[in-house]
Amino acid sequence: MSRMPLPSAMQRREPGGFVAPVFPVDDAYKRICQIGQGTFGVVYKALAPDGSLVALKALRLNDMQHGFSVTSVREIQILQRLNHENVISITDIVASKDAHLDLEKAFVYVVFPYMEHDLAGLLDNPSCRITPPVIKCYFKQIVTGIEYLHENGLLHRDIKCSNILINNYGIVKLGDFGLARPVRSDAEPYTDKVCTLWYRAPELLLGDMHYGPPLDIWSLGCVFAEMFTQRPILHGATEIDQLDRIFKLCGTPTNLPAALNGTALPATSYPRQVKKAFANFGAQESDLLDRMLELDPAKRITAAEILKHPYFTSYPPAVLPEQEIAVDTAVSPGNRFVTVRQETRVFPPVSIKVPGRQARLDVAPGSSQ
């Protein structure tokens, strides 16, 4: 593969069939196996020239008229601006061999550090269980990454467990910046069709198109609770169903600043019961969750405030996993890194009172790797 400048024309193209590229054996990056696929292309586990493992995200170049998808270009542009230990980085951008000879068959590969797991894969894997100290360690890294984005004027807009990447040593990095955007200071609206449904803030569901960093904090709250329960706490089937579940947990809104766009509020007045429903998480845990799942975005806790919350200084202290995680969920059948969107998972109806978890991060004897 050779390094190649990105095309200047970056117009959107409709998704079509994707043909996996052929890697010549003498290329710099040696493909090991496929670990994901989407409308953008294919992701491979590969070996870099220095012997390290990397993830190769293959993007079809097409021709100079159409170029990459807008999402891919934006993700590359944003990630090239960022430099933080808890945010995934681009280490290289290379083109397929002889790409300059035939752009119709050319591919560009975005190279990322290889992360063995995403959080969704770990939570879904019965061989892995996570202790409260490790949850605290993971969550502090997640929030630190989000604080860095917000301090640098960026919204992630798709925080969910499958976009939180974790390596075998417990280091966490935020991934998938395809929906990320700069925070706007003008009156130009965003789209409200962002964030996976189960992690979408109520202001978005109510039609607010002038949102800001609080929408990421709501998603963080959903992820935080899911780390304890091992299942999404608000898994609605539709936007209306999602709002109904939010109101039943967080109470009926009385003065949300978001534009309602004709969305009917429930006739029943629900009390707020976040702390009560998740009291068995612990006093500090349930208080922090309550502040992240605040209906009014103006009153929602910020990432900087989360890091100062007593949860992080209370017992037990945050610790890294006691041992290297022995399963590689990035290549296991249960991986949801890029192949399956989380809203396709089906869960039976459950009471709002979610049982607590006492767990430790380990691998069951005899588990497959």
Kindly list the catalytic residues: 158
Tokens of 67: 């170029």
276 carries a ligand binding annotation = no
Q: Residue 192: exposed, middle, or buried by beta-carbon count in 10 A (0-12, 13-18, 19+)?
A: buried
DSSP string, 222-246: HHHHHHHHSS-S---SSHHHHHHHH
- CA torsion sign for 194, 330, 42, 339 is negative
Strand partners, 253: none
> How many other CB atoms sit within 10 Å of the CB of residue 320?
14
DSSP 67-127: -S-HHHHHHHHHHTT---TTB----EEEE-TTTTT-GGG-EEEEEEE--SEEHHHHHH-TT
Neighbouring CB atoms inside 10 A of 33's CB total 9
Q: Which residues contact 348 (CB under 8 A, 6 or more apart)?
A: none
Look-up: residue for tokens 């969107």? Answer: 341
Residue 74 burial (C-beta neighbours within 10 Å; 0-12, 13-18, 19+): middle
Q: Residues 180, 146: contact at Cβ < 8 Å? A: no
Q: Please choose, from the candidates 295, 287, 250, 290, the residue with its C-alpha nearest in 3D space to the C-alpha of residue 270.
A: 250
Could you list the residues known to form a binding site for ATP, using ranges: 57
Q: Which residues are annotated as a binding site?
A: 57
